Amino acid sequence: MAIAVAFAMVAANVAPPAAAAGRRDPVRITRFLGEQRLPHLTRFDGTAVGGLSGIDRDPATDTWYFISDDRWRYNPARFYTGRLDIDPVSGAFTGVRLTGVTTLTRADGTPYPGYGKPGSADPETIRFDRRSGRLLWGDEGDRPDDRNPAVPISPSAVRAMDPQGRHLGELRLPRNLRLTDGERGPRRNFGFEGLAVTARTITAVTEGPRHEDGPLPTVGRGAPARLTVWSRQGPLLGQFVYPLDPLPAAPVPPDGEADSGVSEILPLGDYRYLALERAWIEGVNYRVRLYEIDLRGATNVLHRRSLEHGGPYLAVAKRLVHDLSSVSTPEQNLESMAWGPRLASGECTLVLGSDDNFNQHEVTQFLAFGATGCP
C-alpha cells in the first residue's frame, strides 16, 4: 500500500524510477541570509530544548518541525513545531520561535524507552509528507560496541507518524542494514542519519560505512555510506554508494578523535539530492560541506555483502555546492537541512540546523541561505 495508507516494503533489485522530463539547473548558493540561535537548554512546555537533529517545513502552513535526539536524558523522544522568520522580500532571517511539542509514541501508544533500554529510539531526521499530511522520521537505533558492550540492540527504522506523534508504520529494511551485536551491519552511531521524500520515492542514508564495507574515513582515505531508495508504493528500488570525503584535517594531537559522515539529504527530484557532509575533528572543530549528488549511472549494491571486497562499483556522482567554512559565523554540528519559503527575487531559501548535543559548549544554530536551482 502507498505511504498515505501504510508501509509495506518488499525487497527488489531494480533501478530508481526515470527522471521527469526536463533538465534542472544545478543548485547554487547565492547569499547568506543570516543566523539565529536558541539559548542552551531553553525550556519549552516542560521540556529542555536541544539535540535538534532534523528539521522540515510544511509549505502550506509555514509550520516548521524540529526533531530532538534526546532519549530521556531530559525528556522522552519528541518533536517541536515552530516558526522561522524569513522576510519574503529581503530574505532577512530575523527570528526563530517554538509553538508546540509532541512526544513520539510506539504502536502501543507509549513513549519510547530511554537510552540503554531495549526498544529505545534515537531520532535523527524528520520529513513532512505534503501528500499525506503525515511525518516520517529516521531512528538510528542502538547496538553494543567495544566501548558500550552492555547496550542492547534497538533496531534502526524509518517510521511514519501522524501530527500527534502516533505510530503509523515503518519501512521494511534490507537485511544489510539491520543492527547486530557483532562486526556486521551498521556501526554504532553510524546508522540512518538522513531522509528524503518525493512524490514517488523515500530515501534514507547511513551516516558512515557498515562494518563489512570498510574502515571509517581518515585524512588519506574516504569511505562508502549506503543510500537506500524505496518506492512509496512498496518495493525497495535499490541501494547506492555515497562516497564520503577523507577527513579535511588531522586531529590535534595526532592520536585525537575524529569522525565524519552524511548528516542529512534533501531531494531535488527522484534521483538528485543535496547531501550535508559533516566532520568533527579534535583540536580543529567542525567542518561542513554541502554537495549535490546524482544517482544516475551508479551501481545498485543492494545485494553486495561487502563494498571493501565485493569488486568494483560506481558510486553516485558528487559536486561541491558550498563549503560552510566560508560562512561568516562559525558552523557548529550541522545535522539538519530543509527548504524554506521562496523569495520575491525567485530564490528559494535553504535552512541548515545544528544539534548541540545538550552540550553547553555547543549551540542550537540555524543558518539560512538564498539558493537557485531548487525544485
**Cα–Cα distance for residue pair 348/190, rounded to 1 Å:** 31
CA distance 326 to 329: 9
Kindly tell me if the per-residue pLDDT of 21 is higher than 80. no
Mean pLDDT of 340-363: 97
* Separation of alpha carbons 231 and 136, rounded Å: 14
User: What is the reported pLDDT for 235?
Assistant: 85
CATH code: domain of residue 102:
2.115.10
For 316, the domain range is: 47-372
The predicted structure's pLDDT at residue 24 = 78
On whether residue 36 sits in a domain, the answer given is no
Q: pLDDT tens across 225-277, in order?
A: 999 999 998 789 999 999 999 999 999 999 999 999 999 999 998 899 999 99
Residue 328 or 35, more confident: 35
Yes or no: say if 264 and 54 are a contact pair by the CB < 8 Å rule: yes
Q: How many domains does the chain have?
A: 1
**What is the pLDDT, as a whole number, of residue 270?**
82
Instruction: Assess whether pLDDT exceeds 50 at residue 12.
Output: no
Q: Does any domain span residue 134? A: yes
Query: Is residue 305 in some structural domain?
Result: yes
Q: What are phi and psi of 213, to 5 degrees?
A: -95, 0
Q: For the chain, give the percent of residues with pLDDT over 90.
A: 89
Q: Which residues contact residue 91 at a Cβ distance below 8 angstroms, ignoring those fewer than 6 apart?
A: 31, 33, 343, 345, 347, 349, 368, 370
pLDDT at residue 277, rounded to an integer: 98
Which residues are paired to 350 by β-bridges? Answer: 339, 369
Residue 140 has pLDDT above 50, yes or no: yes
Q: Is residue 358 part of a domain?
A: yes
Position 307 in a domain: yes
To the nearest whole number, what is the mean pLDDT of the chain?
A: 93
- When pLDDT is cut at 50, 70 and 90, the band that residue 310 belongs to is confident
At 3, the pLDDT band (50, 70, 90 cuts) reads: very low
Q: What pLDDT does residue 92 have?
A: 98
Residue 342: inside a domain, yes or no? yes
Count other C-beta atoms under 10 Å from residue 330's C-beta. 12
Give the pLDDT confidence score for residue 233 in this predicted structure.
80
Amino acid at 32: F
What pTM value is reported for the model? Answer: 0.93
* pLDDT above 90 (res 126): yes
Residue 23: which pLDDT band, with cuts at 50, 70 and 90? low
Give the closest residue to 151 by CA, choosing from 183, 118, 184, 124: 118
Cell 529516521 belongs to residue: 138
- Identify the band that residue 14 occupies on the pLDDT scale cut at 50, 70 and 90: very low
Is the model's pLDDT at 15 over the cut of 90?
Answer: no
Q: Which whole number is the average pLDDT over 137-143?
A: 97
| pLDDT band, residue 327 (cuts 50/70/90) | confident
pLDDT tens digit sequence for 30-77: 999 999 999 999 999 999 999 999 999 999 999 999 999 999 999 999
pLDDT at position 329: 77
pLDDT digits over 80-124, tens only? 999 999 999 999 999 999 999 999 999 999 999 999 999 999 999
**Most distant CA pair in the chain, distance:** 55
Domain annotation covers residue 311: yes
Q: Is residue 169 part of a domain?
A: yes
